[in-house]
Amino acid sequence: METISFLYGMVCLFPEYVFIVRGNHESKRQNERIWEKDKQSKDRKSFVADVLEKYGESKGRYILKYFQSSFDYLPVGILIDNETLVCHGGFPIQSTPWGFMADPTELSEIQMMNRRKDIVNMTDNLSQIMWLDLADDPNLPKRSEKTRAFTITEFKNFMGLNKLTCLIRSHQCVPNGYMNHVPYTHVRDGKEIKLYTVFSAGNYCGSGGNKIGKMVVQRGKVTCRSYPPKHYPLE
């Protein structure tokens, strides 16, 4: 709760410089689901449990209501210099009723979609932007058969249609805090098109042991750094 409050404070203080990209956990449904799942667990604490513990059942629920609905207003992607897209998971990959690959989605379609709602499944465009994994990087295995993932071909088609050169996403824990997905790198019109994962939750869930990743994008150039994880005690 302190983290999101701090970030919201930063957005209010520096609205021209600080932007938050919505992820799959910025969702009422997901938070309530995790809360139910982690109720019995001593070593994990969900967002809902954190707020209820600090403010009590009645005030806590009141505060939660506002947090949860604020998530529906967060941007789902940020476009830097018209060529670098930052989003949480990936981009919509709808398939036709016969299972063939559908046409890639245009950015204008994403900009126009109704995002002021909760994330309810993994199949509509809004959910896919936040839930997608990578299908074709052996260093980043797919989590389960149920999780949808985008392929190298889908990546090429999406980046080509929208004239993007770089996609930066998060959603999967990587040991070094960031990862350049080399199998997805390709050349279009003499330019290298790249895909990165940046993951800043160090020592994820208290046991990941992963480093904290940071990325700087300046005039199309991406610089990555990582920091040792902060080990915090879990009750």
171 lies in the binding site for Mn ion (CB under 5 A): yes
Binders of Mn ion in range 12-31 (CB under 5 A): 23-24
Instruction: Give min distance, CB of 23 to Mn ion, in A.
Output: 5
Instruction: Give min distance, CB of 25 to Mn ion, in A.
Output: 6
162 lies in the binding site for Mn ion (CB under 5 A): no
Instruction: Read off the tokens for 117.
Output: 């709602």
Instruction: Give min distance, CB of 127 to Mn ion, in A.
Output: 12
CB closer to Mn ion out of 60 and 90 = 90
127 lies in the binding site for Mn ion (CB under 5 A): no
Instruction: Give min distance, CB of 189 to Mn ion, in A.
Output: 32
CB closer to Mn ion out of 48 and 193 = 48
For the range 41-46, what are the long-range contacts, defined as Cβ-Cβ under 8 Å and sequence gap of 24 or more?
Answer: 42/235, 43/206, 43/234, 44/205, 44/206, 44/234, 45/234, 45/235
Torsion angle defined by CA atoms of residues 173, 206, 22 and 141, in that order, rounded to the nearest 10 degrees: 20
Measured between alpha carbons, how far is residue 180 from residues 168, 174, 192, 196, 224 in Å? 9, 10, 12, 5, 9
> Where on the chain is the footprint of Mn ion (CB under 5 A)?
23-24, 171
